[in-house]
Structure 1
């Protein structure tokens, strides 16, 4: 850890610490929460409707959920990797928010797995890509849990970087004792994440479902409870929505920036894809010798003839004919 000594000062605990809108900003938190909420609701709708209602598969809902669920492991892994890379300047407050957001992403990812498991089973590459993302997320979650556990056990001052737990740091004059309930909760989160990974791996590679409906509904209830608990903790302790657990020197986490707005705008992409799918089946036009200007063949088509002697059909706006 000698390299960390050059980038962080553990000898004096400052009175305040700076905020970080890129981690705990309003837009970042809302993007995580809204994506998770939509994915959880869609997962529940697909599981319940296809299990208990005699109807056709929810194709559009599945496509929309697939787009949302792909964002969750990527976002969770990315923000945890960022936190690990910045242990020399991030305090436990930001570390804990990252940990809760990753837990929210994990719960959403497994909920989507319950609804889309058959889609993953049909393609070995998709199945193992999802398996790899689950494993990386678990490893990062355990590492974060160890850091936060050490912070609680060693009573690290709240304004010192988490990397100081491995160094000689300045202790507070009135050092508080460890909170047994917080330590037990951290251990429980680490254990539950490991159990979720084992069960998710078993369910993903299970050739034939056993007690399918019962397992799906019960798992959804557990994942909903996990997501609600993680979201509540983030909302309560964040500067953007509640009262931070550390004294921050500014209020930048309440200010909207382009990065936070971009995170919110990314939520539109799955809906655009779902709209394109609902309006027509995506296809690639074939280049035939008798056709010219084949680049004008529409990518979306309902299957009816779109080309007639090099004249292409045009669907007018039904409201402005």
Structure 2
């Protein structure tokens, strides 16, 4: 067990394949890439009134759920190990959290009507988005402090609160500004996603949808490129590592990639008719959820309020 010591600066640090292994990184990057492509496909299909992409919608929802859970999990691991984890690994975790954010918010833009019509799915999505945001902001603060204090790369990230600053490098201004911008951007995207999840349809909705998707694509691409260039698995690490464990493949690394097969199995089941999934509804205030109730003759709205304090008139007005 590594002792938390900020006065002794090691010459190298151990690898951590659990957060920076090749399989883990590929799993996050592939999931985010496929999800962004599916989100764009669904959004453009809806613009041309093709709303029956059930298989793609199911795949996207499964991939997004998997990404947000693994994103929250890996950030919890990083914060739990902050007394032994060096800034190199902590920064990689933060970049993976950005990939998770890009995935689940782009999914919300594409499947917003599916979340609107079920209050449980809607509040679960908001809860996980909020947890991911809080963890990512906390991680971002640690990264920011490490840059501002020019922390030794082989010291644990928790030492940012224990050691005095060593001055700032020449490129510190860009790093500090970029880190603050990313933290602020995540907060803005969370607020916009919650607003988008509750707002009625309006003339600006599609512009927000497209603009948000393009921005998330840029963020996801930047985070993926940064991880690839910085990691030992695919690039050149910024800290001397004791071995090459992050390049090695084992069952743990393969498992993260094998989990990507599960959404494909669900998609095949839908395609073969073994599961019954309701068709998506159009983004209209008068659109129906599943049609008329044959017994009561009631037309259900496309927005289902929560049963405790919500109602059909509690949503934001049209813009």
Instruction: State if a TM-score over 0.5 links the two structures.
Output: yes
Alpha-carbon RMSD across the aligned residues, in angstroms, is 1.7
Larger radius of gyration: 1
SS of the residue 1:252 aligns to: coil
Equivalent of 1:146 in 126, 132, 141: 141
Structure 1: which 5+ runs fail to align? Answer: 1-5, 284-321
Q: Once the 2 structures are TM-superposed, how far is the Cα of residue 9 of structure 1 from its aligned partner?
A: 1.4
1:147-185, CA deviations, whole angstroms, 9 ceiling, x for partnerless residues? 01111111110000011112247x87x984671110111
Query: 1:69 and 1:190 mapped to 2: Cα distance?
Result: 21
* Alignment of 1:223 onto 2:216: yes
Which segments of structure 1 move beyond 6 Å, counting only runs of 4 or more?
none
Alpha-carbon shift at residue 101 of structure 1 (Å): 0.3
Report the equivalent of 1:306. Answer: none
Aligned to 2:66: 71
Determine whether 1:57 maps to 2:48. Answer: no
**Match status 1:7 vs 2:3:** yes
State the match for 1:263 in structure 2: 256
Cα distance in 2 for partners of 1:254, 1:80 equals: 21
Residue 29 of structure 1, CA deviation? 0.3
Worse-matched range after superposition: 87-96 or 200-209 = 200-209
Residue of 26, 31, 35 corresponding to 2:31 = 35
Post-superposition Cα deviations, 1:33-55, rounded to whole Å, max 9, x if no partner, equal 0111111110010100111x243
CA distance in 2 between counterparts of 1:206 and 1:71 reads 26
Closer/same/farther in 2, CA of residues 146 and 54 from structure 1, 3 Å limit: closer
Contact 1:50 1:57 (8 Å CA) reproduced: no
2:199 is the alignment partner of 1:203: no
Number of aligned residue pairs: 275
Q: Is residue 193 of structure 1 aligned with residue 186 of structure 2?
A: yes
Q: Does the aligned pair in 1 maintain the 2:4–2:156 contact within 8 Å?
A: yes
Mark the CA change 1:188 to 1:118 in structure 2 (over 3 Å): closer, same or farther: same
Q: What is residue 175 of structure 2 aligned with on the other side?
A: 182
* CA distance in structure 2 between the partners assigned to 1:232 and 1:166 by the alignment: 30
For the 8 Å contact 1:155–1:178, the answer to whether it is kept is no
Distance 2:110 2:274 in 1: 22
- Aligned partner of 1:252 in structure 2 is 245
Q: In structure 2, what is the Cα distance between the partners aligned to 1:147 and 1:178?
A: 18
Are 1:279 and 2:275 an aligned pair?
no
- SS in structure 1 opposite 2:224? helix
Report whether the alignment pairs 1:97 with 2:92. yes
Residue matched to 1:22: 18
> Structure 1 residue 60: deviation in Å?
1.1
Is there any run of 5+ residues in structure 2 with no aligned partner, and where? Answer: 277-319
TM-score, normalised relative to structure 2: 0.83
Q: Provide Cα deviations, 1:248-284, integer angstroms capped at 9, x if missing partner.
A: 111000001111110000000000000001001427x
Distance 2:222 2:168 in 1: 29
Rate the CA distance shift 1:13–1:176 in 2: closer, same or farther, 3 A: farther
Shift of 1:76: 1.0
Residues 153 and 178 in structure 1, CA contact (< 8 A), matched pair in contact too: no
Q: Is the 8 A contact 2:64 2:103 kept in 1?
A: yes
Cα distance, 1:208 vs structure 2: 3.1
